[in-house]
Amino acid sequence: MKQNTLLNIAEEFGSPIYVYDSQKIISQYKRLTSAFNKVKQVKVNYAVKALSNVTILKLIKSLGAGLDTVSIQEVKLGLAAGFQAEQIIFTPNGVSLEEIEEVATLGAQINIDNLSILEQFGTKHPNIPVCIRINPHVMAGGNTNISVGHIDSKFGISIHQIPHILRIVENTGMKINGIHMHTGSDILDIDVFLYASEILFETAKNFKELEFIDFGSGFKVPYKAGDIETNIEEFGEKLTKRFNEFCKDYGTDLTLAFEPGKFLVSEAGYFLAKVNVVKQTTSTVFAQIDSGFNHLIRPMLYGSQHEIENISNPKGKERFYSVVGYICETDTFANNRRISEISEGDVLAFKNAGAYCFSMASNYNSRFRPAEVLVHDGTSHLIRQRETFEDILKNQVDINLFSLKKKTIKK
């Protein structure tokens, strides 16, 4: 997105603010589906948790995608955005049986990842088709915070517990219509992912009424110039060949499903923040912005790196800056990063801010969560208003403690 466009948005709507480019979302969707155009039935289920604004969901729907959800609230957001229940898969972790049952009444596809709930749900609702999430015990992502298929992960049913799954299915008479895995984020080694896929294929052979196999997602996107990313085209070619072979042996053309979140929206997003103070110490120059980890926590939570540009002075001489926030904690976005010379009042743009950025924002320090803007067909649309002080107080219950009657304590 052009720097002038971002500056105009910051001037019109204020800062801090999240900005999304619809064209990038569309192009990423087309890139993924094109990589698998030799599979008869492909379903892309967008991971709502990455960016859950209802306007973004409507854009995703217009492309022909479904949704991957992890809470009943995300399911209801999908329904509010116009998705049909059968276009939504519900893949929670550690939720109650009651929440799963409530989602089932809405008509979404249920995906279960533990033996206890599988048996309880199958016993009570044997006629409702269920997908099973398998843990392949493969470390395919980045660090353990974002890799969820390793042996110590809380996600999925261990491949070593397949006999237990089969016993539950046989005893309850439940129908298994899908098999699923998700190994984690930032997958670089395609061969490791393909190895995990072979485990999923072997598991699928145990179930005779499958309709789809869900391979999760976790494709890496570049976070800085020269950064490496998942080769989607090579991956598509290799997995397509293996998937089509499996379907031939299985005797049915199954649907190949994915659940990308970051891949679709990360590069489409920008976070804009204004520089409040440039502070020189004995060893460091700090650029202190009108934001903090209450708005963008990923650098502090995961150690993730977001490229930062001074869009107010893009051609200025580069200097080293540590970009920090205004929160009463250590909230460092970048240490000694080369950025075009910064002055107070300049606007900094954080790239790759489309996924897991606004969705993790909070009101810490009683700060307002920022606004969101979608740029579509060259026009900027406000898709979330900036919060106000009334929003901070909205759900608080104000009790006048001094007017309460004192209770007599009996000795």
Active-site entry in 131, 247, 328, 357: 328
* Segment 204-208 long-range contacts (CB within 8 Å, at least 24 positions apart): 204/179, 204/246, 204/250, 205/250, 206/162, 206/165, 206/166, 207/169, 207/176, 207/179
Cβ within 8 Å of residue 154, ≥6 positions away:
93, 94
Q: Which two tokens stand for residue 264?
A: 């679709």
Question: Can you tell me the distance from the alpha carbon of 163 to that of 161, in angstroms, rounded to the nearest whole number?
Answer: 5
Of 87, 44, 89, 88, nearest in space to 63 by CA: 44
Three-state SS at 308: strand
Is residue 328 part of the annotated active site? The answer reads yes
Query: Burial code of 108-131, b = ≥16 C-beta within 10 A, e = fewer?
Result: bbbbbbbbebbbbbbeebeebebb
Question: Can you tell me the distance from the alpha carbon of 292 to that of 93, in angstroms, rounded to the nearest whole number?
Answer: 29
Of 217, 215, 321, nearest in space to 261 by CA: 217
Phi, psi of 159, rounded to the nearest 5 degrees:
-60, -20
Question: Can you tell me the distance from the alpha carbon of 161 to that of 135, in angstroms, rounded to the nearest whole number?
Answer: 10
Q: Report H helices in 296-355.
A: 298-301
CA neighbours closer than 13 Å in the CB half-sphere of residue 145 = 7
Q: Are strands 17-21 and 371-376 parallel, antiparallel or unpaired?
A: parallel
Instruction: Report the catalytic residues.
Output: 328
